[in-house]
Structure 1
Amino acid sequence: MQVHSRAYTDKANVFNIMKNIYSKEGIQGLYRGNMAMIIRVFPYGALQFTTYEQYRRIFFATFGPESHFARGLSGSCAGLTAVTCTYPLEFVRSRLAYQTKANIIYTSYIDTFRKVYTTESGLKGFYRGITASWLGMVPYAGISFYSFETLKRRCLKTRWKMLCKTNPNNSDEIVLRHFVHSLIGGFSGAIAQTVSYPCDVTRRRMQLAKILPDSHEYRNIISTMKFVYKQHGIFNGLYKGLSINYLRIVPQTSVSFTVYEFMKSMLDLQTGIPIKTG
C-alpha cells in the first residue's frame, strides 16, 4: 500500500489486498521477507532497549530525573542507534516483501545482498533511504518511549489497586501490573506511528527506488515526499497503509514494552515508587 504496488491496485481495502495476495501467492506471500525481519528483530530490540537505559542514565544525570526532554531524547537516541546498526536487514526485507511471485527479482536473502552490493554502489546501497528513517525514528522512538514512561509514572501515582501491585523484589514499592504495561505500550506505539508515518512511507519508497516505476523521482527525502504528495495527496499517499500499520504496531509495541518490564522484574531491575509516600 505504501508504494501503490501495481499488482494490487485493484484492491484498495486492506483486507481485500491481503485476500488478493493470499489468492495469488498463498500464505507464503503474506510472509515474504519475514525471515529477514526476524533476523533483524533480535539485534534491533537488544540495541534499542539496552542503549535506552544507558542514554537515560546520561540524560537524566544532565537534565534531572523528572525531565520530559530527557525521556524523549533518550528514546530518540536509542532508536537511532538501533536502526542504524540493523538498517541493511530492513532494506533487504523491503526488497523481498515488495516483489510478487510473478515478478521474482531476488531468489533469497543472500541473493538480495549480493545483487544490491554489486549493482547499487556496494555497502552504500544498503543504506538508501536511511536519512528518512532517521527523521522518522527521532519522533517515533522519542514519542514512543516518552509516552510510555510518562503514562507509566502517571498510572503509578494514581495508586489504584487495579493498576498497581507490590514489587515482588521490594515489598516497600509498588509497580504496575503487566496488563497496564500492555495497554500503555500499545497506546504509545499508536501515537508515535501516527506522527512519524510519512517518513516511513518515504523510507520505503527510497528503499525500493531501483525497482519502482518513476525511480528517478526518489532522489532524496524532499523529492520523494513531493512526488508522493503530488501523485496521491496526504491520506492516500503519505499516510497510505496507516490502518494496517496500526494493526501491526499496536500489538508489537504492546508486547515489546510488556516483555521489557517483565524481564526487568525477573532480573530484579524493575523500580516502582515507595508505598510509604502516599
Structure 2
Amino acid sequence: MMNTEMSIKKQGNASGKFKLACQQIVAGGTAGFVEVSLMQPLDLIKTRFQIQSIHTEQYSSIGDCIKKIYQNEGILSFYKGILPPILADVPKRATKFFTFEQYKQLFSFGAPSPTALSFTLAGLASGVTEGFLINPFEVVKVRLQAENQVFSKQISAWSMAKVIVHENGFGLSGLNKGLTSTLFRHGIFNMIYFSFYHNIKGYMKPYQDKKLEFLRKFMIGLTGGSIASCINIPFDVAKSRIQGPQPTAGHIKYKTCLRTIHTVYVEEGVKALYKGLLPKMLRLGPGGAIMLLVNEHVLDWLQNNT
C-alpha cells in the first residue's frame, strides 16, 4: 500500500513538473512574439548603423536613417527581416525563460531560495543556450536587413537561407557565421538582464496598487535591459560586421569576434564599437521590460487557469 502511494506521488510530481515546464515555455514564447512585433523597426535601424563603416556611411542620425529608409524603401521596409525573428523568437524566448528557471534551480546548489549568484549564473547559462539556438536566424536576418532595395522586391527569408547554405554551407562560414559573437552577446546580456531584474526587484518593496507595481517592475526591467545593452554592444557590432556583407567583395575582412572588435577599434575608434547603441537601447530597454512582464503575467494566468 505504501509503495503504491509513493508511486502515485512520484507520478503526480512528474506531471506537475511537466505542466510547469509547458507553462514556462508558452509564457516565454508569448513574451518573445509580443516584443519582436513591437520592436522590429528599431532592430533594423540598429543593424543599419552597425554594418556601416566610416567608408560606407549612409546615415548620420536615427532621424536621418528613418527618413531615408521610408523615402527610398517604403514603410514596410522597417519590418525587413522580421520573419526570422518571429520564427526564432517564440522558441528563442521560450528557451530563454525556461532554461533560466532550470539553471536557477541548478545554481542554487540546494539552497531553499536562489541567491544573487544563482540569478547571475543562470542568466549567463541561459544566454549561451539561447545564442546557440538563435544564431542561424540572426545570420539570415542581418543579411536581409543589410539590403537597401524596396521591401516588395526583397527575397524571402527562406530563399536567403538557401542562398547562404548554397554559398557557404551550415558551418561557421555559412548559416552559423558569427556564432562566438552571438554567444558573447546573449550570454552577457542575459547575465546582466536577469541578475539585475530579479535581484533589484527583491530589494525593492512591492506596491499594493497594481498600476504602481506594474510601473515598478517595468522600470526595473527597462533599467536592466538598458544597462545590459550598453555593456554587450561591442559584441553585437562584431556580430553584425561578421554576419553582414563584407566591405570588399570576395575578401573576408571580419572573421572572428575579438579580432573584429580589435579591427573596428583600430580603424574607426572606440565610438564605432557603440554604433547603434541608441536604437538598441530604445528597443531592448523597453523591450526587455515588456518581455519580463508579459512572461510573468502569462505564466501567472496559465498557473491560475490551466
TM-score, normalised relative to structure 2? 0.76
Q: Distance in 2 between matches of 1:84 and 1:93?
A: 15
Structure 1 counterpart of 2:163, one-letter code: K
Offset of 1:219 from its aligned partner?
1.8
2:74 match: 26
Q: Which has the higher contact order (CA 8 A, sep 6+)?
A: 2
2:193 match: 144
1:181 corresponds to which of 217, 225, 233: 217
2:283 corresponds to which of 221, 228, 248: 248
Listed one character per residue, the Cα deviations across residues 231-278 of structure 1 (whole Å, up to 9, x for unaligned) are 22111x100110111111112101101111212322348xxxxxxxxx
Offset of 1:135 from its aligned partner?
1.5
Q: Distance in 1 between matches of 2:270 and 2:276?
A: 12
For the Cα contact (< 8 Å) 2:54–2:268, is it kept in 1? no
1:132–1:143: structure 2 CA closer, same or farther, 3 Å change rule? same
Listed one character per residue, the Cα deviations across residues 144-176 of structure 1 (whole Å, up to 9, x for unaligned) are 000000111012xx35xxx2469xxxxxxxxx8
Q: Say which structure is richer in strand.
A: 1
Q: Distance in 1 between matches of 2:82 and 2:117?
A: 35
1:264 corresponds to which of 267, 274, 299: 299
Offset of 1:180 from its aligned partner?
1.9
1:197 match: 233
1:17 corresponds to which of 60, 65, 70: 65
Matched, 1:221 2:285: no
Q: Distance in 2 between matches of 1:233 and 1:6?
A: 10
Offset of 1:225 from its aligned partner?
1.0
Structure 2 counterpart of 1:34, one-letter code: I
Offset of 1:216 from its aligned partner?
2.5
- SS of equivalent residue, structure 1 residue 2: helix
Structure 2 counterpart of 1:136, one-letter code: R
Q: Distance in 1 between matches of 2:148 and 2:53?
A: 10
Residue correspondence of structure 1 range 1-278 to structure 2 within 5 A: 1-4=49-52, 9-62=57-110, 65-101=113-149, 107-124=155-172, 125-155=174-204, 158-159=205-206, 163-164=207-208, 177-208=213-244, 211-214=245-248, 215-235=251-271, 237-268=272-303
Structure 1 counterpart of 2:232, one-letter code: S
Offset of 1:31 from its aligned partner?
1.3
Offset of 1:123 from its aligned partner?
4.4
Offset of 1:65 from its aligned partner?
2.8
1:7–1:99: structure 2 CA closer, same or farther, 3 Å change rule? farther
Q: Distance in 1 between matches of 2:196 and 2:78?
A: 31
For the Cα contact (< 8 Å) 1:106–1:112, is it kept in 2? no
- SS of equivalent residue, structure 2 residue 109: helix
For the Cα contact (< 8 Å) 1:181–1:261, is it kept in 2? no
Offset of 1:126 from its aligned partner?
1.0
TM-score, normalised relative to structure 1? 0.83
Listed one character per residue, the Cα deviations across residues 63-96 of structure 1 (whole Å, up to 9, x for unaligned) are 6635222111101111211221122112111110
Offset of 1:115 from its aligned partner?
1.0
Offset of 1:206 from its aligned partner?
0.8
Structure 2 counterpart of 1:96, one-letter code: L
For the Cα contact (< 8 Å) 1:75–1:141, is it kept in 2? yes
For the Cα contact (< 8 Å) 1:63–1:70, is it kept in 2? no
Matched residue count: 252
Listed one character per residue, the Cα deviations across residues 15-46 of structure 1 (whole Å, up to 9, x for unaligned) are 11111111101112211111222111111111
Q: Distance in 2 between matches of 1:238 and 1:89?
A: 23
Structure 1 counterpart of 2:247, one-letter code: P
Q: Distance in 2 between matches of 1:36 and 1:115?
A: 15
